[in-house]
Amino acid sequence: MKRFIGFIKKEFYHIFRDKRSLFILFGMPVAQILLFGFAITNEINNVDIAVLDYARDTESQKIIQKIKASPYFHVENEIFNEKAIENEFKKGKVKAVVLFEKDFAKKLQTEKKATVQVITDATEPNVANTIANYTQSIIQNYQNQKNTTPKSNGVVIQSRMLYNPELKSVFNFVPGVMTVILMLVSAMMTSISITREKELGTMEILLVSPLKPFQVILGKVFPYIFLSVINAIVIVAMGYFIFGMPINGSIVLLAFESILFIITALSLGILISTISNTQQTAMMISLMGLMLPVIILSGFIFPIASMPLPMQVISNIIPAKWFIIIVKSIMLKGVGLEYILKETLILVGMTLLFIGLSIKNYKIRLE
Amino acid sequence: MENAQEKIIIVENLTKQFDHFTAVKGISFHVNKGEIFGFLGANGAGKTTAMKMLIGISNSTGGTANVAGFDVHTQSEEVKQNIGYMSQKFSMYDDLTVQENITFFGGIYGLSRKQIKTKTEELIAELQLGNIAKTKVGDLPLGWKQKLAFSVALLHEPKIVFLDEPTGGVDPITRRQFWELIYAEAHKGTTIFVTTHYMDEAEYCNRVSIMVDGVIEALDTPKKLKEQFQVNSMNEVFLKLARNIE
């Protein structure tokens, strides 16, 4: 046991004296959460728009007031003819123009039909789309308030967004970033640190010493379990305190599942280190073989349901996919273990498989 | 059998078969307690493979080896506790200080804190490392690293120390100094098992074996080998042997 503690102490020296690994360990999680939380978002806030009001009557003014009052838009200026629209877009500040036709209120009264045109700058398609949707819903809302007598017939769709009523993208990013970081720290850092010993030749010295091979591996891995747990706590805390991500389920369960995933990733890291002899190989395998699939195929950024079938099948072998489902279920839906038993068992199975393969590979190398 | 006690390494018919070739072809030899045994051979002659089997990081596919009184196959744990090993890379941790390296390697051999402390003091005095205890190993010159690695391999007072090309890449003066360290250690009764490329170093050994193509072609004191081959230096012995094989 004393030998083991000495070993772990040495591992911490390595980590804390290497600025690069320190940055990956502690800088990355914070930077990524802040980046995804604040910068990379599907929501729009305070988008500058312009208004072209040919009507200038009470109805059009009321709608403009409503748009102004919403947090999504800021009416930058008013323009007076259609030629000015393109000019506004070319200047680049204004992202959309809301246009009211002549006699807006009168048409609404007599013909029961008047037109509002929303012209958007679609050089950024996602933003344009969102702006169009948001303006539509503001006007729809206004209309609903006005028509106090509901139409006797006609289907009214009422949609409710459960678990994330405001459709905050951070609710998606916190579990995603957590998964990416834990994978990065656990798998990549351990595989690099083990191959480093091989490269330096110290692995030979360790194997000649009375330490048993499994003690060497355990000693290399243990500090990363500890650091990964700290990272998981930091990420969840940032999500909770800064972005208001709820934790509806049991924290104990979340901690248990996180540790399970950390162990899965670590065993993957050990497996990588058994098949690579240099730090560079280990890093390439980790980056190409792990990080890319985690980001692309786990459902973190691109929804799995809309992938082509072969991709959906492949996504099943990515541990990250299952962990993201688990984290979202616990944090947002507040479910207990019985609802995520399948995902948990899949992670356990994968872990056992990786450890089994590592032991097999390791033995071959010793022969 | 009265001689058996003096033989600290006994190798019989040791073989290592890889998939397509045999690296070590049934070698047999012994090493006496307290001697400096030179294990020579060209690159690829199989000397590193043979040595790896003796220190327990590679399994033999045939024959037996007994190191420090224990069978390398069945009692590898006991063997490990009794041997020291220094590889050709002088492997220590560059980002740890001299002191930390000593503490770490002492620790994995199960030395107590007190033992480590006295050992460190001894070592620093012996190597005149004085004020570099807190220097990172990576900042030391190669010659110092090499001496330090040797001392670290001896921390747990092993009966035998295996040195794998310990003087690769250092200048002749440092090599000479290093051999003085080896002599001093052998004088204390430690058995030294050393592989080397440098034939002048072979002259420093008590006995020398020369491996060619997985077989030990010659084994004796340098003096007798030179007489046997009727040459003046070990270098010529080596060349003659290699030519005969061709």
**ipTM score of complex:** 0.87
First to last CA, chain A: 28
Pair A90, A201 in one domain? no
Calculate the average pLDDT of chain B.
88
Length of chain B measured in residues: 246
Per-residue pLDDT for chain A (367 aa), expressed as one digit of tens each? Answer: 778 888 999 999 999 998 888 888 888 888 888 887 777 666 677 888 999 988 888 888 888 998 888 888 888 888 888 888 888 888 888 889 999 888 888 888 888 788 889 999 888 887 888 888 888 888 888 887 777 555 545 566 677 778 877 767 778 888 888 898 888 888 988 999 999 998 888 888 888 888 888 888 889 999 999 999 999 999 999 989 988 888 999 999 999 999 999 999 999 999 999 888 889 999 999 888 888 888 888 888 888 888 889 989 989 999 999 999 999 999 999 999 999 999 999 999 999 999 999 888 876 555 4
How many helices (H) and strands (E) chain B has is answered by 9, 10
The predicted structure's pLDDT at residue B206 = 93
Predicted confidence at residue B125, as pLDDT, reads: 81
Interface contacts A/B by beta carbons within 8 Å = 70
CATH code of the domain in which A61 resides: 3.40.1710.10
Shared domain check, A306 and A212:
yes
Kindly state the tokens that stand for A38. 């604040």
Look-up of token digits 């959906």: A312
**CA dist., res. A366 & res. A355, Å (int):** 17
Interface test with A, best of B108, B136, B139 (most A CBs within 10 A): B108
**A307 and A180 fall within a common domain:** yes
Distances (CA, A) of A209 to A173, A191, A216, A317, B146: 45, 21, 10, 38, 19
A116-120/B62-67 β-pairing: unpaired
Amino acid at site B201: E
* Residue of B197, B193, B188 whose CA lies nearest to B206: B193
Q: Judge if A178 and A35 occupy the same domain.
A: yes
Q: Which domains does chain B have, with CATH numbers?
A: 34-45+77-245 (3.40.50.300)
Q: What is the largest CA-CA distance in chain A?
A: 95
Task: State the pairing for strand pair B207-212/B215-220.
Answer: antiparallel
| A307 & A325 share domain | yes
B7 three-class SS: strand
Q: Which residues of A touch B (CB under 8 A)?
A: 2-3, 6-7, 9-10, 13-14, 17-18, 200-202, 204-211, 366-367
Angle (deg, nearest 10), helices B142-153 and B172-187: 20
CA-closest candidate to residue B83, choices B183, B160, B145, B141:
B160
How far apart CA A340 and CA A322 sit, in angstroms, is 9
- For residue A151, being part of any structural domain is answered with no
In contact, A95 and A49? CB cutoff 8 Å: yes
Q: pLDDT tens-digit profile of B45-101?
A: 888 889 999 998 888 898 999 999 999 988 888 999 999 999 888 788 999 999 899
In this structure, chain A runs to a length of 367
Q: Which residue of A has its CA nearest to B75?
A: A210
Residue A38 burial by Cβ neighbours in a 10 Å radius (0-12, 13-18, 19+): exposed
- Residue B197 has a pLDDT of 80
A246 and A104 part of one domain: no
What's the domain count of chain A? 2
Q: In this structure, are A257 and A282 located in the same domain?
A: yes
Supply angle C-alpha A240, A244, A247, rounded to 5.
55
Residue A354 lies in a domain: yes
Of A182-196, B12-26, B65-79, B123-137, give the lowest mean pLDDT range. Answer: B123-137
Do A260 and A353 fall into the same domain?
yes
Structure tokens at B36: 């400096």
Most B CBs within 10 Å: which of A10, A193, A217, as the mutation test of the B interface? A10
What was the pLDDT predicted at B3? Answer: 46
Q: What is the pTM of this model?
A: 0.80
Q: Are residues A34 and A56 in the same domain?
A: no
Instruction: For residue A163, tell me if it sits in a domain.
Output: no
Please check the confidence at residue B218 and state whether its pLDDT lies above 70: yes
Phi, psi at residue B126, to the nearest 5°?
Answer: -65, -45
Contact A165, A263 (CB under 8 A): no
Mean pLDDT of the B134-142 span = 89
What's the confidence (pLDDT) of residue A297?
87
The pLDDT score that the predictor gives to residue B1 is 38
So what's the pLDDT on residue A342?
Answer: 94
Q: B183: part of which helix (H) or strand (E)? A: helix B172-187
Q: Mean pLDDT across the stretch B171-177?
A: 88
In a domain, A212, yes or no: yes
Put simply, the answer to whether B59 touches A211 (Cβ < 8 Å) is no
Task: Tell me the β-bridge partners of B30.
Answer: B10
- pLDDT tens per residue, range B69-78: 999 988 888 9
Q: Which residue has the tokens 């190409």?
A: A288
Strand partners, B40: B196, B210
Separation of alpha carbons B169 and B138, rounded Å: 16
Confidence of residue B4 (pLDDT cuts 50, 70, 90): very low
Looking at residue B2, its pLDDT comes to: 40
Angle (nearest 5°) at CA B127 between B122 and B129: 90
The one-letter code for the residue type at B46 is G
pLDDT given for residue A44 in this prediction? 75
What's the rounded Cα separation, in Å, for the pair A210 and B76?
Answer: 9
Is residue B34 within 8 Å of residue B190, measured between CB atoms?
yes
CB spacing of B87 vs A201 below 8 angstroms: yes
Taking CB atoms and an 8 Å limit, are B109 and A210 in contact across chains?
yes
The whole-number pLDDT of residue A367 equals 45
Same domain, A267 and A126: no
Which among B58, B95, B107 is the nearest to A17, CB-wise? B95
Q: Is residue A20 part of a domain?
A: yes
Domain termination residue (choose one: A94, A113, A145): A145
Cβ(A114)–Cβ(A104) below 8 Å: yes
Select from A112, A145, A178 the last residue of a domain.
Answer: A145
**Start-end of H helices in chain A:** 2-17, 19-22, 28-34, 58-69, 83-91, 104-110, 125-146, 170-183, 190-200, 202-208, 213-241, 251-275, 279-286, 292-297, 309-315, 319-328, 341-366
Residue A89's domain comprises 47-145
Asked, for residue A158, whether it belongs to a domain, the answer is: no
In a domain, A153, yes or no: no
Alpha helix stretches (DSSP H) within B55-166: 76-82, 98-108, 113-126, 142-153
Alpha-carbon distance A8 to nearest alpha carbon in chain B (angstroms) = 10
Instruction: Measure the CA angle with vertex A239, ends A16 and A319; round to 5°.
Output: 75
Residue B214: strand, helix, or coil: coil
Q: Are residues A311 and A176 in the same domain?
A: yes
Both A184 and A311 in one domain: the answer is yes
- Cα–Cα distance between A317 and A298 in angstroms, integer? 10
Query: Is A161 inside a domain boundary?
Result: no
Question: Is the CB of B108 less than 8 angstroms away from the CB of A17?
Answer: no
End of a domain among A145, A160, A180?
Answer: A145
